Structure 1
Amino acid sequence: MHPRLLKTFLAVARSRNITRAAAAVHLAQSSVSDQIQTLEAELGAALFTRSKSGLELTPAGLALKPIAEDLLRLDGEARAAVMAAAGQTSEALTVGALETIASARLAPWLAEFQASHPDITVRMKVADSGTLLRLLEDGDIDVAFCFERGDGAKADERLARRTIVHEPLALVAAPGQGMAQCDLAGLAKSRFVATEPGCIYRHMFDTGFAEAGVEVPKLVVEAGSIGAIARLVAAGAGLGLVPRLAVSDALARGDLIELPWPGRAQAAPLTMIWRRRRVQPPALRHLLAAARDTLAPERSRAGSKPESTSRSKVLL
């Protein structure tokens, strides 16, 4: 089974749609269909069946899926081991991150990373958390930076995780929209703008009220980006609970004001996630070490020292 066929199979299995799978693996729809047919002919079994909700895995497809994931992981490890043994180490990395983390935390940090590793080229992919994990599993990115929900969900043992810092969330409002001190029950009567369900910020917004036994406020707007939420809040649409790092400039300019959050302090763990491998590429080792030592708020880095004084090439 060629790795190319397995990668296409997994794309179809996850998207349950030939069109979306084709976009994910950068192939024409006809090529995706041909590859699935080739794989089915090789294995002698149908891997998908059609339903009203899309393509469903057959029992044979369900049996193949975890094995295909393992085979692709081993294929990547084999290539890395051979390159390392031959002295041909790759000096390119692809980093995935949420939009907020990429712009407000990684962009300035990567400038510091430039001063350490002159031969490492870093490429950035910005996506939501679910997409980042799929890209990581498929080997399309080397490391992901995202916020973990920390809600007790079982972690994928194939992935290693390290929490870098807990980023505080801020309750923000338009200037002049201050309110009298109140508890969560009183705050719940206010109008709110929030991200869509499934986002870490929305999860923390919902649980912040639910943990106190308070009904979650009714939202006036759901928005897909923190930037849109900040602009809506600044225009007076409602209050917002967002990462402080994403609105620090708006707070400094006076476009937004921060209000006291009456419940338990809310903070999202910024987590670095990468695949466990027998052979870790040197470039990735350098980036993981740099993130561990230097990717944190300034107040947590007093006395920290850069790893070296050379320069690296970063493509954003």
Structure 2
Amino acid sequence: MNPRQLKTFLAVAKHGNITRAASEANLAQSSLSDQMQALEEELGVPLFERSRQGVTLTPAGDALKAYAEEILALNDEAKTAIRAAAGLEKQALTIGTLETIAAEKLAAFLSRFRETHPDIGLTLKIGGSGELQRRLEDGSIDIAFTFDRGEQDGRFQTRLVSREPLTLIAGRNTRVMPPANLADVSRLPFIATETGCVYRRVFDTAFAEADIAAPDIVTQADSVQTIIRLVASGAGYGLVPRLAVTPAAESSDVVELPWPGDTPAASLIMLWRRRRVQPPALSSLIAMASEDLRSVRPADARLRHAG
């Protein structure tokens, strides 16, 4: 197996169509077919099932796919590391994260990391939890800082960074008594993220475990900052990461209400592809983040409390 064959194999696996795969690989269809036949002969097993509808992976082809992705990624990383060690190429990392984490948790940390490692270039990509997972899978980011979705995937390694408390917020001009229990909270109209989001899962679980019907979700939004702005306008209540609330609280747009019982929290984790050899730049980032970001940020003293 050589990298060229593996790239061609992945193109066929991706498209399930010889014509489209040949176009992506910049090969004649006959050349592509010759490469795949040679690969199958070398391995001694068929990798594709061919039909009029296209080609699909056999169980053996499906097994090869994960290894092919890993081999090509490691091949690229080895070239980069060797060139960097020879002073011919700058090390670089692409970091994926959520909008709130980027602004409130990573901004200062990445500044400190750049001071310590000025030879490592950084690119920051913002996306939702599901999008970050897909970007890790296709290799377009090196590491993700996201909230734990409770999913297990042997291809990736995770490390807990911190437990980030969530807070119940209301608009500054909303008149309401602090809820005495979850039953009181369940009668409030809420603005929340969509089902499947980490914040929404924590929200739903709190009521399910107490055997209380969850509140009405009057509006769904895919951005925490949008939720905070809607809450500030009086459109409903929200349960959001406390670290995202401070700017709005400083301008007196929102207030925090006490959550009855244990404060809900979400686990902030680092997530990266499992490899036998980690790129040096990634190892440096993981090590520094493990120390620098581990503590849980307390509630900001300037946050206004209602009641």
Measured after TM superposition, the shift of residue 139 of structure 1 is: 1.8
After TM superposition, the structure 1 stretch with the greater mean CA deviation from structure 2, 83-92 or 260-269, is 83-92
Pair 1:175-2:178 in alignment: no
Listed as ranges, the matches of 1:125-164 within 5 Å are 125-150=125-150, 153=151, 155-164=152-161
**Counterpart of 2:169 in structure 1: which amino acid?**
V
Listed as ranges, the matches of 1:5-154 within 5 Å are 5-8=8-11, 31=23, 43=36, 45-46=48-49, 58=56, 60=58, 63-81=60-78, 84=81, 87-88=85-86, 91-150=91-150, 153=151
After TM superposition, the structure 1 stretch with the greater mean CA deviation from structure 2, 175-184 or 162-171, is 175-184
Structure 1 pair 253/7, CA: closer, same or farther in 2 (3 Å)?
Answer: farther
**Counterpart of 2:248 in structure 1: which amino acid?**
A
Secondary structure of 1:68 counterpart: helix
Decide which of 253, 256, 259 is 2:257's aligned counterpart: 259
Distance 1:30 1:9 in 2: 8
Measured after TM superposition, the shift of residue 204 of structure 1 is: 0.8
After TM superposition, the structure 1 stretch with the greater mean CA deviation from structure 2, 93-102 or 289-298, is 289-298
What is the TM-score of this pair, normalised by structure 2?
A: 0.79
Secondary structure of 1:101 counterpart: helix
Is there any run of 5+ residues in structure 1 with no aligned partner, and where? 19-27, 301-316
Distance 2:166 2:108 in 1: 20
* 8 Å Cα contact 2:95-2:143 kept in structure 1: yes
Larger Cα-atom Rg: 2
Measured after TM superposition, the shift of residue 115 of structure 1 is: 1.5
After TM superposition, the structure 1 stretch with the greater mean CA deviation from structure 2, 243-252 or 4-13, is 4-13
Structure 1 pair 69/220, CA: closer, same or farther in 2 (3 Å)?
Answer: same
Secondary structure of 2:96 counterpart: strand
Structure 1 pair 31/225, CA: closer, same or farther in 2 (3 Å)?
Answer: farther
| Percent of matched pairs sharing the same residue | 41
Measured after TM superposition, the shift of residue 40 of structure 1 is: 7.0
**Counterpart of 1:187 in structure 2: which amino acid?**
V
After TM superposition, the structure 1 stretch with the greater mean CA deviation from structure 2, 191-200 or 175-184, is 175-184
Secondary structure of 1:140 counterpart: coil
What is the TM-score of this pair, normalised by structure 1?
A: 0.77
Distance 1:49 1:174 in 2: 60
* 8 Å Cα contact 1:194-1:240 kept in structure 2: yes
What is the aligned length? Answer: 278
**Quick one: higher RCO (CA 8 Å, sep 6+), 1 or 2?**
1
Pair 1:4-2:14 in alignment: no
Distance 1:279 1:294 in 2: 23
Structure 1 pair 41/208, CA: closer, same or farther in 2 (3 Å)?
Answer: farther
After TM superposition, the structure 1 stretch with the greater mean CA deviation from structure 2, 183-192 or 233-242, is 183-192
* 8 Å Cα contact 1:173-1:234 kept in structure 2: yes
1:96-144: CA deviation from partner (whole Å, max 9, x where unpaired): 1111111221112111112201111000111111221222122211111
Distance 2:236 2:185 in 1: 12
